[in-house]
Amino acid sequence: MAEASRESAPYTEADLRLIKRILPHRYPFLFIDKVRDIVPFESGVGIKNVTSNEPHFQGHFPNEPVMPGVTIIEAMAQTSAVVVGVSMNIIDADLATYFMGIDKCKFRRMVVPGDVLELHVKAVRGGGKIWKFEGQALVDGHVCASAEFTAMMAKKADD
């Protein structure tokens, strides 16, 4: 994995094209639309526009659609992986991100179609293959979920 100096990261924002150059995730498992306010090696804010046509709403729940909590945490992790990708200059590196742990996870408010989910993530430890983040998911300034999570970026396993 390429090392990067803290001054070398050229991006403070990632649109969908750049996100796809960093993350291997695609529909229906790509849960972020944009990452803004990227401070390399420190933090970023992911944006998820929650729409009613997402596949998980067919069964969770048909008459009262609620975004599953695990997808909110996954969206936080994807935001963090983009921050790492920009920080370490590992765009187009064909890496995968693997969860290693999730701690202090709490859900406080439902996320529903029409919401704009802001995923605020902050690096607690990192700089190499293994990173630890703390994150909060907010809608209209209200905390919906929070968690600490650890992940590793590594070469994809061979098929």
Per the structure, the count of domains in the chain is 1
Q: What is the number of other CB atoms lying within 10 angstroms of the CB of residue 150?
A: 19
Closest CA to 32 of 19, 51, 18: 19
Spell out the residues 6+ positions from residue 19 whose beta carbon is closer than 8 angstroms to its own: 30, 32, 34, 35, 78, 82
Residue 20 lies in a domain: yes
% of the chain beyond a pLDDT of 70: 93
Residue 9 lies in a domain: no
Residue 59 lies in a domain: yes
Cα separations in angstroms, 117 against 7, 21, 45, 138: 29, 22, 10, 6
CATH number of residue 147's parent domain: 3.10.129.10
* Res 158: pLDDT: 63
Q: Is 142 a catalytic residue?
A: no
Taking 60 as the threshold, does the pLDDT of residue 5 lie above it? no
Enclosing domain of residue 35: 16-155
Tokens 């690096």 correspond to 123
Residue 6 lies in a domain: no
Residue 5 lies in a domain: no
Closest CA to 71 of 121, 32, 19: 32
* pTM flag (> 0.85): yes
Residue 11 lies in a domain: no
Reported as type and span, the H/E element at residue 82 is helix 69-87
* Annotated active-site residue in 25, 56, 60, 120: 60
Taking 70 as the threshold, does the pLDDT of residue 34 lie above it? yes
CB distance 117 to 69 below 8 Å: no
Taking 80 as the threshold, does the pLDDT of residue 110 lie above it? yes
Give the helix, strand, coil percentages of the chain, each rounded to 5: 20, 40, 45
Q: What is the pLDDT confidence band of residue 91, given thresholds at 50, 70 and 90?
A: very high
